[in-house]
Amino acid sequence: MIFQALFGCMDFTGWLLFSFVVLLLTDVVRNWRPHSFPPGPWAVPFLGNVFTGVDFKTMEKLAKEYGPVFSLRRGSERMVFISGYKMVKEALVSQLDSFVDRPIVPLFHVVFKGIGIVMSNGYLWKKQRKFTNTHLRYFGEGQKSLEKYTEEECHFLCEAFKEEQGKPFNPQYTISNAVSNIICSVVFGHRFEYSDQSFCKILELDSEAVLLAGSAQTQLYDAFPGLMKYLPGPHQTVHANYKEIEVFLQKEIERHQEEWNPDDPRDYIDVYLAEMEKKKDPQAGFNIETLLVCTIDLLEAGTESAATTLRWALLYMMHYPEIQKKVQAEIDRVVGQSRQPTLADRPNMPYADAVIHEIQRMGNIVPLGFPKMASKDTTLGGYFIPKGTAITTILSSVLFDKDEWATPDIFNPEHFLDSEGNFRRRDAFLPFSAGKRVCLGEHLARMELFLFFTCLLQRFTFSAVPGEMPSLEGVHGFTYSPESFRILAMPR
């Protein structure tokens, strides 16, 4: 009777206030931090920590305040962030099976649908990754190996730079096209000319999508996908770009289906079609839809990181001309000018190898790695992390860990050289991540970086356009990339 009388006296404003209080209490109870869960900043009711920056520098500040294992809440979802070499190694290497799954990332789930190589889980992921690994090796070691493809592409890239005749130009999409042609040769069986406008458009669309995917506004989609899909914003551009990329790749797949000869597989798509024909393991997901997602995975993985690293390489050579000269002197001594560098030269070129590794370290291409998920209840750093919790390993905190690097914030190739000038590997060098989800294309990327970098420095000296020295501060997207810049490539 008392409640009926109370409710009967409430006007619209009272009902509104009452409803808000109920919703607020529900949100507080539902999102109460679990016992022994990693600490983190106070979360705004309903919204969580959506106003906290999503860039790696903000994450590193939070790590200093809350420790190497901390948490944030996006909407109603809690995420755990792991910082520093020791804790990242504990998560990815020591606890090899604890964080092997991928969470659903709403922004990407629209495109990748939890299938393919990168965003899949369980049995399907294992079968797709194993199949791709096997056939990357097969086409990489066949009659025309990946190294030969790369050596040929180095020649085309150098010729394109030569055509600029020492005048200012932006190298971004020429580099992206050159790098992408290596994986395209494996996946599609052919390369694309730098003048191919349709493929240039695909590279531009993908670059824009990768850049926008890391913005704070776009990542609101991950916190509130049900609402954001109806609202305008950069997330709509990301999805529209991927749709255009899918149309382009679908045409490549259809062309392969028309020309397919099961007795003479030419490339990855051909062998994938052959696997589909077997129809012996439906759970492995070998179908046209998964093939389309796999080609997106391979195109992006085989293009973005290595191409962005090479752009950083040109930028650092402009800023450190004395290091550029030392690399060129080593190339001249070991290779000379009568032939291109090959992978067999790498053991005899420790300084060039060290410079490439330092470019990767300082370039910090994927500072927050790719999100993973606790595949079982586990403990990390003394905190309890329930199964299904999304985690992010802050790879930038490893590459700049003050306990691992003598001068973490300074470009210093000596990090990768011993006292006698020999190349030395570093445990804290994890630009490709580590563990079972380590980058599938690490071997290919390392080969490409060495061959492209040494070929370019063998043929050219790079310098800034007068009055246009580009900044070493990068742009925060899903990857960390240099701002657009022009360069001078003077033939040697």
Pairwise CA distance, residues 307 & 193, whole Å: 16
- pLDDT confidence bin for 83, thresholds 50/70/90: very high
Secondary element (H or E) of residue 383: strand 383-385
Pairwise CA distance, residues 198 & 186, whole Å: 19
Torsion of CA 283, 287, 289, 295, to 10 degrees: 110
- pLDDT confidence bin for 28, thresholds 50/70/90: low
Q: How far apart are the first and last CA of the chain?
A: 94
Which residues, other chains included, contact 170 with Cβ-Cβ below 8 Å and sequence gap of 6+?
484, 485, 486, 487
137 phi and psi angles, rounded to 5 deg? -65, -40
In the predicted structure, residue 140 carries a pLDDT above the cut 80: no
pLDDT tens digits, 285-318 = 999 999 999 999 999 999 999 999 999 999 999 9
Tokens standing for residue 467: 């009055």
Percent of the chain at pLDDT above 70?
Answer: 92
Other C-beta atoms lying within 10 Å of the C-beta of residue 45: 13
- pLDDT confidence bin for 27, thresholds 50/70/90: low
Q: What is the largest CA-CA distance in the chain?
A: 98
Q: Domains in the chain, start-ordered, CATH in brackets?
A: 56-491 (1.10.630.10)
In the predicted structure, residue 24 carries a pLDDT above the cut 60: no
- pLDDT confidence bin for 262, thresholds 50/70/90: confident
In the predicted structure, residue 51 carries a pLDDT above the cut 80: no
User: What is the average per-residue pLDDT within 6-19?
Assistant: 61
- pLDDT confidence bin for 327, thresholds 50/70/90: very high
> What value does the mean pLDDT of the chain take?
91
- pLDDT confidence bin for 47, thresholds 50/70/90: confident
pLDDT of residue 157: 98
In the predicted structure, residue 6 carries a pLDDT above the cut 60: no
User: What is the average per-residue pLDDT within 16-23?
Assistant: 62
Pairwise CA distance, residues 67 & 41, whole Å: 12
In the predicted structure, residue 454 carries a pLDDT above the cut 80: yes
155: left (phi over 0), alpha (psi -120 to 50) or beta: alpha
pLDDT tens digits, 336-367 = 999 999 999 999 999 999 999 999 999 999 99
pLDDT of residue 263: 84
In the predicted structure, residue 26 carries a pLDDT above the cut 80: no
pLDDT of residue 441: 83
Tokens standing for residue 363: 């370039």
CB-based contact 196:149 (threshold 8 Å): no
DSSP 8-class letter at 190: S
CB-based contact 106:221 (threshold 8 Å): yes
- pLDDT confidence bin for 54, thresholds 50/70/90: confident
> Which of 105, 66, 73 shows the shortest CA–CA distance to 87?
66
Tokens standing for residue 323: 């290091």
pLDDT of residue 17: 72
pLDDT of residue 223: 87
In the predicted structure, residue 3 carries a pLDDT above the cut 50: no
CB-based contact 398:88 (threshold 8 Å): yes
Percent of the chain at pLDDT above 90?
Answer: 78
Other C-beta atoms lying within 10 Å of the C-beta of residue 133: 13
Tokens standing for residue 343: 């992978």
pLDDT tens digits, 390-436 = 999 999 999 999 999 999 999 999 999 999 999 999 999 999 999 99
Secondary element (H or E) of residue 16: helix 12-30
Secondary element (H or E) of residue 17: helix 12-30
Whole-structure pTM value: 0.92
pLDDT of residue 486: 97
Lowest mean pLDDT among 130-139, 185-194, 318-327: 130-139
- pLDDT confidence bin for 23, thresholds 50/70/90: low
Alpha carbon separation from 51 to 13, 75, 77, 369, 391 (Å, rounded): 29, 11, 14, 21, 19
CB-based contact 433:394 (threshold 8 Å): no
Supply the DSSP string of 193-204, one letter for each residue. Answer: -TT-HHHHHHHH
Looking at 92-224, list the stretches that DSSP marks H as alpha helix, in order from N- to C-terminal side: 106-112, 122-141, 146-162, 172-187, 197-213, 216-223
490: left (phi over 0), alpha (psi -120 to 50) or beta: beta
More confidently predicted of 273 and 142: 273
Which residues, other chains included, contact 180 with Cβ-Cβ below 8 Å and sequence gap of 6+?
192, 199, 203, 299, 302, 303, 307
